[in-house]
């Protein structure tokens, strides 16, 4: 299998937190002391210390010299990972990795300060991962892994996983005052005084940014962290509380046809009422103790998170479709209308959400006697997505015999997501319609898991790490529609295996295989009725499908690492098979079924430090993704899968100044299954310069998109409907396009632009 993978790639054009830090899972000579904030980052020789070429670490030195537009962009230091945004800055980022458009976090497991970030059964997307509350200045280091090869990684880890560790102490109290283009302002105060037998790290942040859009984002956030920690020779303990509140307006993606016609600016918007509010409050505790036989780690966490989001992606398509469903759709139309000709699947239970689309009394009039009102674009397609939850969990792990021939680590844990409200509503100007509820449920989702893996040393050069993981999920859905309620219990067993062979102190070969998974939205597991027809099929006569609770993934990887003379290079040849791309679409409130997929790719990562003050890095990742079958003849391309990502930079860090220049290449994405619609690639350059005064203060300047390139943060290809389309005879008279006649809308590219050139200045004091 491994040999065929290498040959194939050469020819080619998942909610379970892991311990933090992890006790003895990264081979005997692990590159970080457990429980301490010591890291060597990408400049460390990891030969003989990690089980895969795609595993590594980034540290604060590599973060602080990197221009960062939004907090999540510190993760772009992970080779092959790209961060973007498709609307307001207050919601979770878009993530791209290993051929995935990971939406807001699906298949990328995220853990910060011992707490899992991915949210299953979320109103805005499965695995939703909002890290806008992250404070980069507090980050000590970030561990990352790619692929489903590690027993301690669980739900959402098929493509990869990362863990962020906060510092225990700062070198000195810190104050940052930032100003910049487009209403940017930032105030950060942090310190870590000695309190009792330990240290109290605290930070408070006030932040505002408008973005370079015609309608300002008005994104404002209040952010804070409080962390008490104590370390002794064998024991480490910390308790961390964090709080975040954010509010924002947003300019969602817009249609290219209006921009091309000169009717809309690339930085404009369609619906001025898009935006949202979010908050997160958390408490987590970590305890770790080492003894002569190994180490024990215990993590406990709890957090409350809330999102109320208003979005409009299709403008008037659903409004016009609702009009068609009421007036002439043979499955759902009101029989009193003169143009209603009921078919064999006709139902009388269809719920129209737009009052303007229905004539009062038409439902009780004699058949074919009432003329419907004309369609007047009265309601629009705005959706409100509401999610309110409390998450709690506990995990324990123990390693044994850390210096012997066989080192075994085992762990177990539980997580409970109590979601009193997860809902999707149709509305207008942030007011829901009385009959606009597409979904409203109270969901309780539990995950109990256990894992074990052993590091087996064979001689001085060869090491194996077999592993096994099992998860058992309990999905309990109490839906406002009783027939959509239910309880499902499902489990999965996942074997893992990695091998590493050391060629020399500077070179190593790797072979990795494993199975992973991601869970599906609980509502998609139990739903039986369409939210508007209230029967087991939708307005097109298509049956309502139920998702399998857990979707298995299988990955394979070959890798090579070279580390010598300040140069660290890795290359990975990988493939990942998903049993199904089945998803619950939180934006539409329905289930979509896709077939099995295969992704293959190559990653080439390089980090070079020829001099203590000079760093060069260049990472290239390519991939392709295909459905393995095509029963409906729709094509085999996986929409939104990314083709290539490149990041490169040069950093100079001298006693009196530091400077960095970075290049970011965002490759093309196929946007439909046929492969006909392809997004544009983009290249941007960012820079940072810091003047170090040695008088207790520094001055930092960041410039984003230096050459003011007009780029897109995200692109989609789908259908919508606008008043301008209704005035176009070619669209208005075509029953395949005009949704009031049963058409699908106008197919077009939709994009959210990247930021214009943006300059930010930060005054930093650290007495």
Q: What is the mean pLDDT of residues 698-721?
A: 95
- Cα separation of 753 and 85, whole Å? 9
- Could you read off the pLDDT of 14-70 as tens digits, one per residue? 333 333 333 333 333 332 222 233 446 888 999 999 999 999 999 998 999 999 999
| DSSP per-residue string spanning 150-219 | -TT--TT-SSEEEEEEE-S--SS-EEEEEEETTTEEEEEEEE--EETTEEEEEEEEEEEE--SSSS---E
pLDDT at position 105, please?
A: 76
Q: What is the mean pLDDT of residues 146-168?
A: 96
* pLDDT band at 585; cut points 50, 70, 90: low
Which DSSP state fits 337?
A: B
pLDDT at position 40, please?
A: 60
* pLDDT band at 581; cut points 50, 70, 90: confident
Q: What is the mean pLDDT of residues 696-702?
A: 95
pLDDT at position 251, please?
A: 86
Share of residues in the chain with pLDDT > 90 (%): 84
pLDDT at 273 over 60: yes
pLDDT at position 582, please?
A: 59
pLDDT at position 25, please?
A: 33
- Cα separation of 587 and 571, whole Å? 38
pLDDT at 632 over 90: no
pLDDT at position 595, please?
A: 85
- Cα separation of 116 and 447, whole Å? 12
Q: What is the mean pLDDT of residues 455-466?
A: 95
pLDDT at position 29, please?
A: 37
Which of 653-691 are b and which e, b meaning 16 or more Cβ less than 10 Å from the residue's Cβ? beeeebbbbbebebbebbbbbeeebbbeebebbbbbbbe
pLDDT at position 533, please?
A: 94
- 766 versus 194: which is more confidently predicted? 194
Signed CA dihedral, 532, 534, 540, 543: sign only = positive
pLDDT at 618 over 60: yes
- If you average pLDDT over every residue of the chain, what do you get? 91
In this structure, of 211-215, 543-547, 722-726, the range with the lowest mean pLDDT score is 543-547
Contact 138, 112 (CB under 8 A): no
Q: What is the mean pLDDT of residues 444-469?
A: 97
Q: What is the mean pLDDT of residues 66-75?
A: 94
pLDDT at position 583, please?
A: 52
Q: What is the mean pLDDT of residues 745-755?
A: 95
- Could you read off the pLDDT of 93-139 as tens digits, one per residue? 989 999 888 877 789 999 999 999 999 999 998 999 999 999 999 99
- Cα separation of 100 and 643, whole Å? 9
- Could you read off the pLDDT of 300-341 as tens digits, one per residue? 999 999 999 999 999 999 999 999 999 999 999 999 999 999
- Could you read off the pLDDT of 381-394 as tens digits, one per residue? 999 999 999 999 99
> Judging by DSSP bridges, how do beta strands 108-112 and 160-166 pair with one another?
parallel
pLDDT at position 102, please?
A: 80
| pTM (global) more than 0.85 | yes
- Could you read off the pLDDT of 390-415 as tens digits, one per residue? 999 999 999 998 888 999 999 999 99
- Cα separation of 600 and 641, whole Å? 11
Spatial CB neighbours of 730, under 8 Å, sequence gap ≥ 6: none
pLDDT at position 31, please?
A: 27
* pLDDT band at 592; cut points 50, 70, 90: low
* Residue closest to 589 by CA, chosen among 550, 536, 638, 544: 544
* pLDDT band at 6; cut points 50, 70, 90: very low
């Amino acid at each position: 299998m491994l040999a065929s993978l290498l040959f194939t790639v050469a020819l080619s054009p998942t909610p379970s937190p892991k311990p933090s830090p992890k006790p003895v899972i990264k081979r005997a000579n692990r590159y970080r002391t457990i429980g301490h904030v010591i890291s060597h980052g990408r400049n460390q020789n990891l030969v003989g210390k990690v089980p895969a070429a795609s595993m590594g670490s980034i540290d604060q030195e590599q973060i602080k010299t990197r221009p960062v537009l939004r907090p999540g962009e510190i993760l772009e230091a992970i080779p092959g990972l790209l961060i973007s945004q498709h609307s307001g800055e207050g919601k979770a980022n878009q993530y791209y990795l290993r051929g995935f458009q990971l939406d807001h976090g699906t298949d990328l497991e995220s853990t910060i300060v011992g707490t899992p970030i991915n949210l299953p059964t979320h109103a805005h997307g499965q695995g939703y991962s909002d890290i806008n509350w992250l404070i980069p200045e507090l980050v000590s280091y970030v561990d990352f892994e790619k692929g489903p090869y590690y027993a301690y990684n669980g739900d959402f880890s098929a493509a990869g996983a990362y863990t962020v560790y906060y510092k225990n102490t700062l070198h000195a109290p810190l104050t940052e005052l930032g100003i910049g283009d487009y209403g940017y302002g930032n105030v950060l105060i942090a310190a870590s005084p000695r309190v009792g037998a330990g240290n109290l790290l605290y930070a408070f942040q006030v932040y505002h940014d408008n973005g370079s859009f015609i309608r300002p984002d008005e994104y404002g956030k209040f952010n804070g962290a409080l962390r008490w920690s104590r370390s002794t020779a064998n024991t480490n303990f910390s308790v961390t509380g964090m709080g975040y509140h954010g509010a924002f307006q947003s300019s969602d993606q817009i249609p290219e046809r209006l921009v091309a016609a000169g009717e809309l600016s690339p930085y404009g918007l369609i619906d001025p009422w898009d935006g949202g509010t979010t908050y997160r409050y958390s408490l987590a505790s970590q305890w770790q103790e080492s003894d002569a036989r190994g180490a024990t780690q215990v993590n406990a966490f709890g957090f409350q998170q809330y999102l109320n989001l208003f979005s409009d992606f299709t403008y008037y398509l659903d409004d016009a479709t609702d009009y068609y469903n009421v007036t002439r759709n043979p499955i759902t139309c009101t029989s009193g209308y003169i143009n209603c000709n009921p078919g064999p699947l006709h139902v009388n239970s269809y719920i129209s959400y737009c009052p303007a689309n229905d004539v009062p009394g038409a439902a009780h009039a004699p058949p074919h006697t009432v003329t419907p009102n004309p369609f007047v674009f009265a309601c629009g397609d705005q959706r409100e997505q509401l999610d309110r939850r409390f998450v709690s969990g506990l995990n324990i792990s123990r390693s044994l015999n850390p210096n012997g021939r066989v080192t075994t680590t085992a762990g177990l844990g539980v997580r409970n997501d109590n979601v009193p409200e997860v809902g999707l509503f149709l509305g207008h100007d942030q007011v829901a319609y009385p009959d606009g509820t597409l979904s409203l449920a109270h969901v309780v989702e539990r995950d109990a898991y256990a894992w074990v893996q052993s590091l087996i040393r064979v001689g001085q050069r060869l090491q194996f790490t077999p592993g096994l993981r099992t998860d058992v999920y309990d999905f309990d859905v109490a839906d406002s529609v009783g027939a959509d309620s239910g309880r499902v219990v499902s489990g999965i067993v996942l074997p893992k295996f990695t091998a590493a062979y050391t060629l020399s102190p500077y070179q190593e070969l790797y072979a990795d295989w494993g199975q992973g998974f991601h869970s599906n939205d609980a509502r998609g597991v139990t739903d039986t009725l369409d939210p508007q027809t209230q029967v087991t099929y939708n307005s097109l006569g298509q049956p309502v499908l139920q998702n399998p609770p857990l979707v298995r993934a299988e990955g394979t990887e070959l890798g090579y690492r070279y580390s010598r003379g300040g140069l660290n290079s890795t290359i990975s040849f990988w493939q990942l098979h998903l049993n199904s791309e089945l998803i619950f679409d939180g934006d539409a409130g329905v289930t979509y079924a896709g077939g099995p997929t295969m992704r293959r790719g190559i990653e080439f990562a390089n980090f070079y430090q020829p001099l203590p003050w000079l760093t060069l890095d260049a990472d290239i990742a390519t991939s392709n993704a295909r459905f393995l079958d095509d029963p409906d003849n729709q094509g085999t391309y996986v929409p939104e899968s990314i083709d290539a990502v490149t990041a490169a930079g040069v950093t100079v860090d001298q006693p009196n100044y530091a400077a960095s220049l970075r290049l970011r290449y965002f490759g093309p994405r196929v946007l439909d299954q046929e492969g006909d619609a392809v997004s544009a690639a983009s290249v941007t350059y960012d820079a940072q310069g810091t003047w170090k005064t040695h008088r207790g203060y520094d001055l930092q300047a960041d410039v984003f998109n230096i050459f003011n390139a007009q780029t897109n943060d995200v692109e989609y290809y789908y259908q919508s409907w606008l008043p301008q389309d209704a005035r176009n005879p070619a669209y208005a008279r075509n029953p395949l396009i005009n949704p009031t006649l049963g058409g699908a809308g106008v197919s077009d590219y939709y994009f959210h632009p990247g930021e214009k050139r943006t300059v930010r200045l930060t005054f930093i004091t650290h007495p």
